[in-house]
Structure 1
């Protein structure tokens, strides 16, 4: 994900500026734009007195982010002094944040007695083949063979330290790309591809606006010369007065070519 082709003039590109890291806790609204977004996924200690690993992950990302623009880090934990939202609201927030992220950094220091991380298994299964996962797990973590097997078979970066996992996430992000509003729902794995850029440049040329998007399916490039394949559902508002309201379109990219469905 770290090599970005030149963007059409009508598509937002990384803007000059100083590096910024913005932490978004569960229940909070994200900023209106960012250059990159990382979600910190993994078990949270059930004991409030036990320290979470996520502050150290944030600091590792903060120290490693030297690119111009904003890096957003999503934490499924409340801000200091706040409480968790109602469980359905928390799940909805987590799912929405993960689908918008460029990288989902899994850190699973599994200890079956103290930190089993069973929910993390479900989330790993949902996102391991998304092209956006990074798996971090220390050597002593228990019952990780199955996850490591699929990480290897899918080409997911694996690191054995938290700082190494943060560096791997930033390598996947690379320079990022500024996205605003509905563009934030298009991860870099799709945003950087030529089929998406061509489709979006044409929509932008006619004055259309992207409200939201969801990657329904993704397949990584088959080899260094290959192209990623993906299916994107996009909600678009046509130029003022051209239509009755937002429309939903599906865009498919395969063999380096894009088409509407």
Structure 2
């Protein structure tokens, strides 16, 4: 887990809507209201167009939240090149962990666009509470992914525009976060246990430097809150060294481990 600079000011709730694309290798902005990662197969043939520009266009047209929507795009800027493979993987992992929604679009064609790596990523994120699965009806060998999407309550869409819309429905209006706060996804940020814990830390003068969701279980019914386990790095208000703690929320209650 990288340690971020402290959160300074975060975007006000009345900030105008904007969309910022962050390509692989680029540093994300210091604050945002929501973040979406575009996950799925990337064409190996330069002559084969990527689906991601259309996804970005759909998100731009649909985003109406107050503040900045960041779209993580694991492809280089036009005319650019990919980083070293290990650096690519590290950037992708960090971006996915910081995202509020991981939008999967898998137009699988076993001859042109098999998307085998996407299967691994789907397995890692399908039960995160942040996944959206999109695939056209003609996509090949999707039965297993679709089965678990339905079993886990993951939104499923058959068009790219529909998948973008589902991602933004999950995000809602977003929530302004800056610095280390960006590492807390909306699925956790909005829960009462986290909000109570964070309000107490801020009142004490502490600063959230980083966070990582280690486990997440969605709510099992209309009256039950999601459960989660979060590792946080906090700079105490007294100026002492940062402290790493684990927070557990279960059955609507929060406790420090």
Q: Does 2:256 correspond to 1:257?
A: no
Cα RMSD after superposing both structures: 1.2
CA gap 1:53/1:24 in 2 versus in 1, 3 angstroms: same
Runs (5+) with no aligned partner, structure 1: 1-10
Structure 2 counterpart of 1:97: 95
Runs (5+) with no aligned partner, structure 2: 1-8
Contact 2:10 / 2:31 at 8 angstroms: preserved in 1?
no
Distance 2:169 2:223 in 1: 20
Give TM-score, length-normalised by structure 1: 0.94
Out of 30, 34, 51, which is 2:28 matched to? 30
Cα displacement string for residues 32-55 of structure 1 (whole angstroms, at most 9, x for unaligned residues): 000000000000000011100000
CA gap 1:256/1:234 in 2 versus in 1, 3 angstroms: same
Contact 1:14 / 1:177 at 8 angstroms: preserved in 2?
no
Q: Does 2:53 correspond to 1:50?
A: no
Cα displacement string for residues 184-222 of structure 1 (whole angstroms, at most 9, x for unaligned residues): 000000000000000000001000001100000000011
Distance 1:176 1:66 in 2: 10
Distance 2:11 2:199 in 1: 12
Structure 2 counterpart of 1:141: 139
Correspondence 1:221-236 to 2 at 5 A: 221-236=219-234
Alpha-carbon shift at residue 81 of structure 1 (Å): 1.9
Alpha-carbon shift at residue 82 of structure 1 (Å): 1.2
Alpha-carbon shift at residue 12 of structure 1 (Å): 6.7
Structure 2 counterpart of 1:82: 80
The number of residues matched between the two structures is 249
Distance 1:184 1:125 in 2: 24
Contact 2:233 / 2:245 at 8 angstroms: preserved in 1?
yes
Alpha-carbon shift at residue 240 of structure 1 (Å): 3.7
Out of 202, 218, 224, which is 2:200 matched to? 202
Correspondence 1:131-210 to 2 at 5 A: 131-210=129-208
CA gap 1:12/1:80 in 2 versus in 1, 3 angstroms: closer
Contact 2:108 / 2:140 at 8 angstroms: preserved in 1?
yes
Distance 1:17 1:152 in 2: 36
Runs of 4+ in 1 over 6 A off after TM superposition: none
Distance 2:176 2:78 in 1: 29
